[in-house]
Amino acid sequence: MTRGRRWAALLLLVAALLLAALGQIYFFYRRDYLWDGVVLYGLALLCSVLAWRLSRPRPAATDRPQPSQLGAWTTTHPIPAGLLALGLLLSFTATVLSQERGWNDSTSDVVVLWILGVGATAAAALWPAPWTPRPWPRWKIRLQEVGRKTWVEVAVVLGLTALAFLLRVAALDRVPYTLGGDEAWHGLLARSVLSRELRNPFVMGYLSMPTAFYWPLSWSLRLVGDTMVGLRMPAVLVGTATVPILYLFARDLWGRRTALLAAAFLATYDYHIHYSRLGANNVWDALFVVLALWLLDRGLVQRHTRPSKESPGEDPPVHPAALSQQGAQRYRYMILAGLVMGLSAYFYTGARLLPLLVAGYLVYLVVLRCLPRTPAEAGARLSWHLVILLILALLVAAGPMLSYALSHPDDWNARLNQVGIIQSGWLEREPELTGKSTLQILAEQFLRAAGAFHVFPDRTVWYGADRPLLGFLPGIFALLGMAWAIAHWKDRRYFLVLLWFWAVIITGGMLTESPPSSQRLVIAIPAVALLVAFGVEPLVGLIWRILNLDPKWQNATMGLLVLFMALSNLYFYFGEFTPSRRYGSATGETATMIGHYLHDLDEDYQVYFFGAPLIYWNFGTMPFLASEVPVQDVVEPLDAPPDFVDTAAARAAGQDIMFILLPERAGELEWVRQAFPAGRLQEFRDARGELRFIVYRVSSGPGE
């Protein structure tokens, strides 16, 4: 690089950083001037691209790897083919038997057949399993051959996983404090599994969610405890598992450094931590999409070396025999990817995007191979028989649920029909109500969805943070990473991340009501972590290249940047967001306080709840936390002393009487006192000193 080009690149880089920081200031603090921020960011991205172009060395020519040739899979793999056929048969039988089974109809036969079908399909992917009568000596030799660098890598990943677990499990019963109504209803339905009232995992339940989700919840309630911790523990484990899976996925596609940056950011990302601490199924989407895409990539690509940093996607030539041997094993990953995609159909609605995402990626690979001079797809060998194996495995896993969707389309699509702007008729009504054109409304919807991570705060009580879903500094790196990915869109790896992110923004944001709604964008979180890593790595590399700095400090600088972002994320979540109790709404916070209070009572009470119309007892939170307490809603306002209290029955049951009143109905307390003048009054306030509810306790003993 000449001295002139070096100085020009340096000045452009400084300008890019200053413009990006200024644009972020507009996004955060001057939202009325949103388009000014967009223009500043556009200029910043332009300067960064020009700086990168000026500093980029001329790439060395490489030879394209020789394509692999796969034989007829069925004839060369008769046992896996037979196992897959058996899996299809068992799943089809389970699908037929599951039809017309009700909520509480026994499905033991269906579940057994379905599990056997999934197991047979998994065995087809794993066959032949290497086995020896005395495996320990062989494993001992292999472990001794592992290099020190690999052991360090394993230790780092295990350390990140442990950190992710601790950040998600610590004080799980208090962070977040509120037990949301949806969380509580999931817990109540999991209890119905334990009580055998709910026996069918292949139908739709609360909020049109598949009921299969309540089985892992019920196992947790039984093993961990029938508490908030037990309810939230599956999300903790799923959120934790996503971190090492993202590392493996990124390591295969971009190498160790990018993988470490992305996994470290995900482990400490406040948005992901929050949803990993809720008794809901949103966070499962992130695990399913990363796991499925990792397996899919391994099924598409012949691995023989790490991707080149200077020439992304290009690999040096390898001996044809080695390629043939690796290519013959790719079916294993395609089958496993299909199983993961099928299992995702039993959880949150957002996972329905995963098959469409995979289909779009495969179409891209087909189109890209038809273009001239496209080295970026080197190593990716799309074979249609592998795609068929992927689809068959998906059908095995998702068969009963897909059958239900076909026979009950209204139930299957109920939630989409409710929140989708097209399905609900919102898009048709809005031009009439606002006077805006349909195109303008769609543009506004897209803008709000696209700005979820950088401009607009969450509009729901699911998270409700007072800032966008990314902090200030991560927001800068994510946009720089987006520019880097767009500049490399012909590289299948970067295109996959772009497709992933924008597909979620459009389907989970733009085409739904009230964007941005954080609960619908959780599936994009790993993609955002990758974008942050894409921004950090090239930027630091560019600075080092321009200033000709010592390379040994480059990794340390990247690590410090991620550490700073991690500490910022953690301070925001645990230091600012958690004390604010924004999650779950004020109603949910009040219900949680009442539920905890009733659960901790030492005496038995008959409770009369004056909460309507703001809160009814069946809100979910209170029944989950205080399931053993008998409670009666007092719906109509009192205009005289209450005559519905049966003190004799309470005395016979050994119970005292308790009245719980919300502040909105505190005026009715005088009527209660007229009927029971000897009661004890107690007020309960939140951490901010705001009155939440009033308790009036009365003894039902003789003389009262």
Buried b (16+ CB within 10 A) or exposed e, 274-313: bbbbbbbbbbbbbbbbbbbbbbbbbbbbbeeeebeeebbb
**Which residues have a Cβ under 8 Å from the Cβ of 332 and sit 6 or more positions away?**
125, 126, 299
* pLDDT for res 242: 98
Residue-level pLDDT at 4: 67
Asked if residue 28 lies in contact with residue 36, where contact means CB atoms within 8 angstroms, the answer is: no
Tokens, residue 375: 């080295």
Predicted pLDDT at 1: 60
As a whole number of angstroms, the distance between CA 422 and CA 411 comes to 17
Asked if 465 contacts 457 with a C-beta cutoff of 8 angstroms, the reply is yes
What residues in the chain have per-residue pLDDT under 70? 1, 4, 56-72, 129-140, 302-328, 371-381, 701-704
pLDDT of residue 699: 87
Pinpoint the alpha helices (H) of 57-180.
Answer: 73-76, 78-98, 108-126, 135-145, 148-169
Q: At which residue do the structure tokens 């005559």 appear?
A: 643
**Residue 439, burial from CB neighbour count under 10 angstroms (0-12, 13-18, 19+):** exposed
The 10s digit of each residue's pLDDT in 140-191 is: 677 777 788 888 999 999 999 999 999 999 999 999 999 999 999 999 999 9
Nearest-10 crossing angle of helices 34-55, 472-487: 50
Largest CA distance in the chain: 99
Cβ–Cβ under 8 Å, residues 225 and 625: no
Rounded to 5 degrees, φ, ψ at 698 are -130, 135
Non-local (6+) Cβ contacts of 350 within 8 A are 282, 285, 504, 508, 520, 522, 523
Spatial CA neighbour of 366 closest among 377, 375, 356, 353 = 377
* Cα–Cα distance measured from residue 656 to residue 607, given in angstroms and rounded to the nearest whole number: 9
Residue 135: per-residue pLDDT: 60
What is the token pair recorded at 447? 């803008």
| Cβ 518 vs Cβ 383: under 8 Å | no
User: What tokens appear for 376 in the block?
Assistant: 């970026």
Measured CA to CA, the distance from residue 545 to residue 551 in angstroms comes to 9
The verdict on pTM exceeding 0.95 is no
What angle, rounded to 10 degrees, do the helices at 256-267 and 228-254 form?
Answer: 160
> Is residue 609 classed as helix, strand or coil in its secondary structure?
strand
End-to-end Cα distance, the chain: 93
Beta 656-661 vs 605-610: how paired, if at all? parallel
Whole-number pLDDT of residue 316: 39
